[in-house]
Amino acid sequence: MTYNDNNNRPAQPNEPDEDALVERAKHDPEAFGQLYELYVEQIYNYIYYRVGNQHDAEDLTAKVFYRALNHIPRYHNRGRPFAAWLYRIAHNLVANWHRDHSRRTMVDLDSVSLHSDERANPHHEAERTNEREILLAAINKLPEERRRLLYLKFADRLSNAEIGKIMGRSEGAIKSLYHRTLVSLRELLAEHENLVKELEQMDE
């Protein structure tokens, strides 16, 4: 199983089409395969940024869709996108993974980028690596809900509206939470304001 860790996530289907596809997937494996193709990359990215290594991320991603396949006959649309259900499954599996491993979230720093140029010179690359290290250490000090918001915005490049649907909150509430999160990060990154400014630029 191979994934591309990039910022291009699959286009979301509109709600009527998605609803119809989900209903078909309850008895049609081909339809479930279409849902898999639509969401596998963003679910993988979300998990990868939580567990920090490709092997476990691929294993957990496979488990998410295996569990979804087994339970989709009992799935009921409660007004949220289908992705919200997948993220909830992923969240629970990642939580179990961390409990089993008894270790904090770590990320492969070489794979994380904040709008960096693909061909940066060695000096700039070393500087960016240090910034990533500082940023991720700060993020890991935040409460779970705020870390989750940043993973969805930073890893999957989701909009506030999309994140709100996944987390069960309004777009305005997500925007407010994101700003409060940036305030917390600014306090943790008092000597590295440029990192917070880059995160601010990701907002709508």
Does this chain's domain 15-101 share its CATH topology with 111-201?
A: no
In CATH terms, 15-101 corresponds, of 3.90.228.20, 1.25.60.10, 1.10.1740.10, 3.40.50.1820, to: 1.10.1740.10
Q: Are 185 and 128 in contact (CB under 8 A)?
A: no
pLDDT of residue 12: 47
Kindly report whether the global pTM for this prediction surpasses the value 0.85: no
pLDDT of residue 109: 38
Q: Which residues contact 45 (CB under 8 A, 6 or more apart)?
A: 3, 5, 9, 155, 156
Residue 147: other Cβ atoms inside 10 A: 18
CATH number of 111-201: 1.10.10.10
Least Cα distance to 40 among 70, 9, 18 occurs for: 9
Least Cα distance to 138 among 167, 114, 156, 169 occurs for: 114
pLDDT of residue 68: 93
- The residues spanned by each domain of the chain are 15-101, 111-201
pLDDT of residue 105: 45
Task: Give CA separation, 13 vs 16, 164, 172, in Å.
Answer: 8, 17, 23
Write out the two tokens for 90: 């992923």
Dihedral over alpha carbons 177, 80, 69, 16 (to 10 degrees):
-140
pLDDT of residue 97: 87
pLDDT of residue 4: 43
Write out the two tokens for 102: 């008894």
The list of the chain residues with pLDDT below 70 reads: 1-16, 102-132, 191-204
pLDDT of residue 61: 92
pLDDT of residue 199: 64
